[in-house]
Amino acid sequence: MMNKKWWKETVVYQIYPRSFRDSNGDGIGDLRGIIEKLDYLKELGIGVVWLSPVYKSPNDDGGYDISDYQDILSDFGTLADWEVMIAGMHERGIKLLMDLVVNHTSDEHPWFTEARKSKDNPYRDYYIWRPARAVGPDGTGIPEPNNWGSFFSGSAWEYDQKTDEYYLHLFSRKQPDLNWENPRVRSEIWKMMNWWLSKGVDGFRMDVINLISKVAGLPDAPVTDSTTTWQWGGQYFANGPRLLEFLAEMKREVLSRGDVFSVGETPMVTTAEVAQFTSEETGSLNMVFQFEHMDMDTIPGGMGKWDFKRFELRDLKKITSRWQDDLYDKGWNSLYLSNHDQPRPVSRFGDDGLYRVESAKLLGTFLHMLQGTPYVYQGEEIGMTNVKFDTIDDYRDVETMNMYREAVKRGIDPHKIMQAIYTKGRDNARTPIQWDDGPQAGFTSGTPWIKVNPNCTTINVAQSQADPDSIYFYYRKLIQLRKDNPVIVYGKYDLLASVGDPIYAYMRALDNDRLLVILNFSTDQPLFKLPGGITYTGKHLLIGNYPVDADEDINEFTLRPYEARVYRLA
Ligand code: NOJ
C-alpha cells in the first residue's frame, strides 16, 4: 500500500479573497471577512485553505501581479489581520496555503522598476530583456524578439522606451517574467518562501510553476494560427530544460525543511511528467493541477479556449482514467473541477437549470470519490452558477477584456464574443459569494467590485444551511466520508469500461473494501447493468443524491436524471 500522508487525506478549499466576504463595506472581500467565516469553513470539514494572492499588487490580474511578496494589499487588510486569520485557522485545525506567484512579478515590483532604469542596473537580469529584431527592408517581419503570443492576447513582448528593449510577459504586460536562469532571482524566492514558512504557513500553491524555465534562444514558435502574428510558444516555455533542476533546488532550499504542502499549477503536462514531479522519492512537489479535463470543451483554433463546445463524457472518462491509472503508486493527483480561472462546474459539466442541485451533487460525488486530494472552490459547495452580464463594462477580468478588444478588432460579432464570455470567462467564478438573499447577497454593505449574480435570491449559503437536502450538506457528507473511509483515499481506481455513456461507473478497492460509484451524466434515465464478474453478498449505500430503496436490486436498475450513488459492496 502507498505511504499514508496527511495531505492525501484532506480536502482543500480555495478562497478568492476579493469575492469571499467584505467586512468593511468597501465592496472588496478582505481578510477580516475571511476571519468572520472561519467557523463556516470548519463546519464544512475542509482541512486546508488555499488563499489566492493577498499581497501588494496593482491588481491588473486579480492579484497575480505582485509588487511586494512580503506585505498585504491594503484592500485586503494588514499583516496583523493576516496573523489573526492564520491563528484562527490553526485553532480550528485548518492549514493555510499561500499562493506563490513567481513566474512573473508586477511591473510595479521594485525589482522591475529598478530593472527598467538602465541596461546595467543590478536588477536588469532579474527579467528577460531582448533588443528589437531587424525588420526586413520591405517592412516584413516583426521587431518583437520572437512571435510568441501572450496568454492574454497579443504579443508576449512589451517595448520599453527608456532602454529601447523588449521584456517578456507570458501574461499581461504588467506581469514581466522573471529570469530564473539568474541564481540571485532564485535565492530571493527561496528567502521569501522561508519567510512565509517562518510565519506559520503550511505550504504553497505554485502559479504556472512549470513555465519558469524557458528554452535558451527563445526561438520563434511554428505558425499554428494563420490569422494572427502571435503564435503559441508553449513548447519553448512549458516544462523547460531546467525545470526539474529548479524544483529540486526549491525542495532543497525550502520544501524539505519542514512538512510543507506543495501543489503546482502545471498546464500542458503529461502523466509521465507529473509522475516525475510528484514521485515521493525523487520528485519535488506533492501534487499538481493538470488541465486536460479543463481543455475537453475547447475546439483547437484561433481563439484558444474561447472556441468551445459541450464536453463529451467519453473524454472525461478517458482523461480521468488515464490520470488515475498512470499516477497510481507513482505520484499523486489533485482533483478539481473548479477554480478562479474556470467557469462554474455546474454550468459547464452539469445542468444549472432544472437539475442544478442533482447535477452539482453528481459532480461532487464524481470528484470526491476519485484518488487524489480534492479541491473545493468557494461557492461550489452551494452550487453557484455562471453569470451573464449584459455588457462588457460589467466584466473585470483582464483576460476577458483583452480577448473582447482583440476579437472586436478582428471583426468578430460582439454577440458571439459575449456567448464565449458567458461560457468560458473567468469572471463566472469571481462574482461574490452568495451568503444570503439580502442586498448584495450579504457579501458587502457597499457596492461590490463586480456585480453579484442575480440568482443570489435563491442560491445562497443561508438557504443551503436551512435545507437538509442541499448541495452544502451533501458536500459536508462527501468530505466526512473521505475522513472515515481509507478506501476513498488509498483505494485503487478501476473504470467499469463496459458501462456505456451517459453512465460513468467505477470501482475503488483497498484490501477487501470495495466501493462502486455510479453516475448518470445526463437528464436521461438510462439502465445501469452491473458488469459480469462483480459479485457481492451485501451492499450499503454510502451516499446518493436521490432517495433509494435499500432492497433495490443493483444488478440492473434505472437511473434518474443526474443520479449518483456510491455503494460499499460486501
Ligand atoms: C494562473 C492563475 O491561476 C491565473 O489567475 C493567472 O492569471 C495566471 N496564472 C498568471 O499568474
Output the domain CATH number for residue 160. 3.90.400.10
Residue 213 within a domain: yes
Residues 49 and 140 in one domain: no
Task: Determine which one of 75, 158, 165, 207 is catalytic.
Answer: 207
Q: pLDDT tens-digit profile of 33-84?
A: 999 999 999 999 999 999 999 999 999 999 999 999 999 999 999 999 999 9
Residue 480 within a domain: no
For residue 548, the domain's CATH number is 2.60.40.1180
Residue 481 within a domain: no
Task: Determine which one of 265, 358, 397, 399 is catalytic.
Answer: 265
| Eight-state DSSP code of residue 124 | G
Report pLDDT for 138: 82
Ligand 1, pocket-test mutation among 153, 171, 398, 399, most atoms within 8 A of CB:
171
Residues 48 and 148 in one domain: no
* Mean per-residue pLDDT of the chain: 97
Rounded distance from Cα 207 to ligand 1 centre (Å): 6
Q: pLDDT tens-digit profile of 212-242?
A: 999 999 999 999 888 889 999 999 999 999 9
Report pLDDT for 141: 87
Residues 171 and 39 in one domain: no
Q: Which of 177, 202, 230 is the last residue of a domain?
A: 177
Phi, psi of 429, rounded to the nearest 5 degrees? -95, 0
Residue 17 within a domain: yes
Q: pLDDT tens-digit profile of 76-127?
A: 999 999 999 999 999 999 999 999 999 999 999 999 999 999 999 999 999 9
For residue 275, the domain's CATH number is 3.20.20.80
Residues 191 and 304 in one domain: yes
Cα R_g (the chain), whole angstroms: 24
* Closest C-alpha to ligand 1, atom 1: 207
Q: Report the percent of the chain where pLDDT is more than 90.
A: 95
| Rounded-to-integer distance, Cα 4 and Cα 13, Å | 21
Mean pLDDT of the region 465-492:
98
Report pLDDT for 227: 85
User: Structurally, how many domains does the chain consist of?
Assistant: 4
- Local confidence band at 302 (pLDDT 50, 70, 90 cut-offs): low
Residues 114 and 90 in one domain: no
Range(s) of the domain holding residue 532: 491-569
Report pLDDT for 301: 67
- Local confidence band at 18 (pLDDT 50, 70, 90 cut-offs): very high
| Eight-state DSSP code of residue 451 | P
Residues 355 and 295 in one domain: yes
Is residue 265 flagged as an active site residue?
A: yes
Residue 328 within a domain: yes
Mean pLDDT of the region 321-350:
98
Q: Which of 140, 161, 177 is the last residue of a domain?
A: 177
**Ligand 1 residue neighbourhood (C-beta within 6 Å):** 61-62, 64, 101, 171, 207-208, 265, 340-341
| Rounded-to-integer distance, Cα 570 and Cα 568, Å | 7
Q: pLDDT tens-digit profile of 308-318?
A: 999 999 999 99
Is residue 406 flagged as an active site residue?
A: no
Residue 451 within a domain: yes
Residue 479 within a domain: no
Residues 519 and 450 in one domain: no
Q: Which helix or strand (DSSP H or E) is residue 219 part of? A: none
Mean pLDDT of the region 343-360:
98
Q: What cell was used for 142?
A: 516583426
Residues 523 and 444 in one domain: no
Q: pLDDT tens-digit profile of 413-440?
A: 999 999 999 999 999 999 999 999 999 9
pLDDT at 131 over 80: yes
Residues 205 and 284 in one domain: yes
Residues 269 and 324 in one domain: yes
pLDDT at 1 over 60: no
Mean pLDDT of the region 14-25:
98
501 CB neighbour count, 10 Å cutoff: 15
- Local confidence band at 199 (pLDDT 50, 70, 90 cut-offs): very high
| Rounded-to-integer distance, Cα 231 and Cα 150, Å | 9
Residues 137 and 232 in one domain: no
Ligand 1, pocket-test mutation among 15, 101, 106, most atoms within 8 A of CB:
101
Residue 483 within a domain: no
| Rounded-to-integer distance, Cα 386 and Cα 348, Å | 8
Residues 321 and 405 in one domain: no
Q: Which helix or strand (DSSP H or E) is residue 205 part of? A: strand 203-206
